[in-house]
Structure 1
């Protein structure tokens, strides 16, 4: 079997150990040529009142990992639940500022006109910080979401849109996500599996797993996340379409999973016991 993509997993005591371990498993290191000026880190903090957000500890680990490579900006936009500034405050992200990292509300920035692949947009305004092919590190969580089956790294790109009310895009969400993935393909995708939501987020239940997942191919990362939850990746519309359009690998038997066998077993057993859909 020829593998088309690779991801790496780790289950450790804390996000810093897990992140460093998982990244060390990738067959090729992240290439930073010394000319990079800025790295954008996009966490998932849709609603701080509910579980399922990227933890401060994971975001801090990512920022610290890259701090000597370039200036680090943690970016998020407003939504109907809260402003990005409120989310940063409620998640204690100000601690990142105390270490010299920048918190950026995308909804407050000037915008520029950008071209897209045309699934949902041919042209639209984007925050100026996203122009000129930014080095983007996507740091999402993973959770079940009935409307789209699985919400992980690609869905987190939705938060790059600056408008507060993004509900008008829900009817053609797959089209929007494909345009965002094409325009703002992350240089590195990280999924924070420190804690994972059990059931509906509003039930406020989560389980500690202590995992982290990393990869260069966001489609492969999300396909593996889907499998952890017992969801067939090809049953997720935006994953199937991304695969069909050559944006990444969604066939599980063509994705190599790096990490120790013990950690793989621990990860699957934790999901099987607590959150996996058993058919």
Structure 2
């Protein structure tokens, strides 16, 4: 039997209000009315792993292993899409883009689980996109690890996504390959942002959308992010906080801080809430984190999150 892609799945469950099972893994329809069929439920929803150490790759592996290992998420033959932040033509030490070592290690881990195809993709802002892929180090690192790498720079690379209970946006677009993927991994970098104070996991999902400017022109960028995060959910969020950008974000250059951490989890609100604390910020002071929590998309209270800390 042909497996439904994510867009077809969304259409098939519209209007339902209960938990269902897809491929043996629970896929919950969230309060804003739409969710991907997620294998992320193979990990404990309340678990958050924080790996600390000098080696970004080892931090990635340790964080995912602390959740139970990539084998809980990726199966033999799976098509995996990895979405880092590659928006800007900046080197890794500028902390404006995801560290290529982080992305490459995720690729290796997915290959070890038997993934048949691994695609690294983003909607790149700086031009030319091909130069950005190379200068950031994402292309060579990811390809050497065994992934395909591309930039979703054409409107034809996107398909529509319905957000029936979104408060501000009722429909939007998403990169086609994310909708087709068996597993979707969101790999943001933690950094300051001029419009939303911080950009973390949910903010990184803006790079899945074709028309970012419409969100910036709306009455609430934070609400757009929260609405979209309910419909375009990653199976796993891996937050790169090896080096974070403190000022002049999202592009920099600005002041950076070496934190030497990678945070992994299924709950995108919990991951972002922890990420906010790295900047000395209360999670509820970040609009999209608060709004996503209020929409029932995840946990913001650290007392209700099972945080596992490991050193590498």
How far is the alpha carbon of 1:102 from its aligned partner? 0.8
Q: Unaligned stretches of 5+ in structure 2?
A: 1-43
Cα distance change of structure 1 residues 147 and 31 upon mapping to structure 2, 3 Å threshold:
same
Moved more, 149-158 or 193-202: 193-202
Q: For the structure 1 residues 206 and 245, does the alpha-carbon distance in structure 2 shift closer, same or farther, using more than 3 Å as the test? A: same
User: For residues 36-87 of structure 1, what are the alpha-carbon distances to aligned partners after superposition, in whole Å with 9 as ceiling and x for unaligned?
Assistant: 53111011122123532111111111111111323110010132x3354332
Q: Which residue of 2 aligns with 1:226?
A: 276
Instruction: Report the Cα offset of residue 146 of structure 1.
Output: 4.1
Q: Quick check: 1:4–1:254 contact (8 Å CA) kept in 2?
A: no
Kindly state the Cα deviation for residue 28 of structure 1 after the two structures are TM-superposed.
7.7
State the partner residue of 1:37: 78
Residue 106 of structure 2 aligns with which residue? Answer: 62
* Structure 2 match to 1:107: 153
Q: 1:58 to 1:146 in 2, by over 3 A?
A: same
The normalised TM-score by structure 1 is 0.82
Aligned partners of 1:136 and 1:184 also within 8 Å: no
Check the 8 A contact 2:276/2:282 in 1, yes or no.
yes
Aligned to 1:238: 288
| Other structure's SS at 1:78 match | coil
Specify the SS of the correspondent of 1:142.
Answer: strand
**For residues 150 and 253 of structure 2, what CA distance do their matches in structure 1 show?**
30
Match of residue 183 from structure 1: 231
What's the offset of the Cα at 1:151?
Answer: 1.2
How far residue 196 of structure 1 moved from its aligned partner, in angstroms, is 1.6
1:126 is aligned to 2:174: yes
Conserved? CA contact 1:141–1:192, under 8 Å: yes
Query: What is the number of equivalent residue pairs in this alignment?
Result: 257
Tell which deviates more after alignment, 41-50 or 233-242. Answer: 41-50
Rounded to whole Å, the distance in 2 between the matches of 1:28 and 1:58 is 16
C-alpha change, 1:35 and 1:176, in structure 2 (3 Å) is farther
Q: Which residue of 2 aligns with 1:76?
A: 122
For 2:128 and 2:228, locate their aligned partners in 1 and report how far apart those are by CA, in whole Å.
21
**Contact in 2 for aligned 1:72/1:102 (Cα 8 Å):** yes
Separation in structure 2 between the aligned mates of residue 35 and residue 17 of structure 1, nearest angstrom:
23
Structure 1 vs Structure 2 CA RMSD: 2.6
> Normalization by structure 2: what TM-score?
0.74
User: Which runs of no fewer than 5 residues in structure 1 stay unpaired?
Assistant: 267-279
Q: 1:180 to 1:207 in 2, by over 3 A?
A: same
